[in-house]
């Protein structure tokens, strides 16, 4: 069970594991944080400093979301949402270490819900999830590592976030190697040309790593993404 409330530009969610905050990037927004904590806590019937949790046997501490700064934030365009359990929309954010979220996203959770409220109900789309930082951002010799590829995704499904497209690459959880730093996990949504059958070549099927994503996009004339977003995470023990 989740309870949420919006206070100014902040996003709050009291999940079964605690209070989740989405921090603003602006200094003014951060200065408003303390007052917002008090207001949100009063609305939720608790406080953020270890007062009694609203449900028995649940921890009552705060988990902070950090949003991406420039230049990484510039990749996020078009209101594309990527939604994981407990975390909600992680677009344009770092995955926090608290509550084992980095472990869960790499070992426990399956594919996220992906929602695009602007999707054209009459269109189909192609969704791509890649890691451009494999094996590390400093040495991305295996970019773009393919983590998920769907074609024939209906606009009606994108509006709800329950995708039923044709799977070209099964979802592979984000698994950054130890001591490789933060990895970007990038989602790109393309409008699929009418009548176009999207498929991977026999060579592309042999490996997930070092995928020539640009060639794939050009081959099927997908053009520029209609929306894109990314989240950053690193190995859960780092």
- Look at residues 189, 170, 182 and name the one whose alpha carbon lies nearest to residue 75: 189
**For residue 181, pLDDT beyond 70:** yes
How confident is the model at residue 100, as a pLDDT?
A: 94
Q: Are 101 and 68 in contact (CB under 8 A)?
A: no
Position 19 confidence tier, pLDDT thresholds 50, 70, 90: very low
Average the pLDDT over 116-125 and give the result.
97
DSSP of the chain, one letter per residue?
--EEEEETTEEEEEETTEEEEE--SSHHHHHTHHHHHHHHHHHHTS-SSSPPPSSTT----EEEE-B--TTGGGG-BS--EEEETTTEE-TTEEPPSGGGHHHHHHHT--PPEEE-TT--TT-EEEEEEEETTSS-SS--TT-SEEEEEEEEEEHHHHHHT----EEEE------PPTTS--EEEEEEEEEPPTT------HHHHT-SSS--HHHHHHHTT--S-SEEEEEEE--TT-
**What does pTM read for this prediction?**
0.77
- Look at residues 165, 149, 155, 127 and name the one whose alpha carbon lies nearest to residue 205: 149
Average the pLDDT over 25-38 and give the result.
45
From 14-18, 84-88, 124-128, 150-154, the region with the lowest mean pLDDT: 14-18
Per-domain boundaries in the chain: 1-65, 71-233
How confident is the model at residue 217, as a pLDDT?
A: 98
Position 131 confidence tier, pLDDT thresholds 50, 70, 90: very high
**For residue 111, pLDDT beyond 50:** yes
How confident is the model at residue 27, as a pLDDT?
A: 42
Greatest pairwise CA separation for the chain in angstroms: 58
> Half-sphere exposure (CA, 13 Å, Cβ side) for 213?
25
Cα–Cα distances in angstroms (integers) from residue 83 to residues 89, 136, 168, 207, in the given order: 4, 25, 21, 27
For residues 217 and 15, the model is more confident at: 217
How confident is the model at residue 1, as a pLDDT?
A: 39
Residue 69: Cβ-neighbour burial (10 angstroms; 0-12, 13-18, 19+): exposed
Q: Are 224 and 85 in contact (CB under 8 A)?
A: no
Average the pLDDT over 78-89 and give the result.
96
151: how many CB neighbours lie within 10 A of its CB? 21
The domain 71-233 having CATH identifier 3.40.50.970: the answer here is no
**For residue 8, pLDDT beyond 50:** no
How confident is the model at residue 38, as a pLDDT?
A: 39
- Look at residues 90, 30, 53 and name the one whose alpha carbon lies nearest to residue 229: 90
Q: What percent of the chain has pLDDT over 70?
A: 74
Average the pLDDT over 152-156 and give the result.
98
Q: pLDDT tens for residues 52-72?
A: 233 333 344 578 889 999 999
How confident is the model at residue 64, as a pLDDT?
A: 82
Rounded Cα distance, 226 and 234, in Å: 27
Q: Are 180 and 135 in contact (CB under 8 A)?
A: yes
For residues 10 and 227, the model is more confident at: 227
């Amino acid at each position: 069970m989740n309870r949420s409330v919006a206070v100014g530009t902040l996003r709050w969610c009291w999940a079964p594991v605690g209070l989740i905050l989405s921090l603003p990037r602006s200094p003014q927004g951060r200065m408003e944080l303390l007052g917002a904590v008090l207001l949100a806590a009063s609305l939720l019937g608790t406080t953020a400093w270890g007062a009694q949790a609203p449900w028995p046997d649940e921890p009552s501490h705060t988990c902070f979301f950090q949003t991406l700064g420039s230049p990484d934030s510039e990749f996020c365009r078009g209101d594309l949402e990527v939604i994981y359990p407990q975390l909600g929309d992680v677009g344009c954010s770092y995955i926090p270490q608290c509550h084992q979220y980095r472990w869960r996203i790499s070992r426990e959770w399956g594919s996220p819900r992906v929602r695009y409220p602007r999707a054209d109900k009459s269109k189909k789309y192609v969704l791509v999830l890649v890691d451009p930082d494999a094996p590390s951002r400093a040495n991305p010799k295996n970019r773009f590592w393919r983590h998920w590829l769907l074609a024939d995704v209906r606009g009606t499904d994108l509006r709800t976030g329950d995708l039923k497209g044709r799977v070209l690459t099964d979802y592979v959880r984000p698994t950054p190697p130890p001591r490789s730093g933060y990895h970007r996990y990038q989602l790109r949504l393309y409008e699929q040309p009418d009548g176009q059958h999207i498929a991977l070549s026999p060579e592309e099927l042999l490996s997930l790593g070092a995928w020539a994503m640009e060639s794939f996009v050009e081959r099927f004339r997908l053009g520029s993404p209609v929306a894109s977003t990314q989240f950053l995470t690193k190995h859960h023990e780092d």
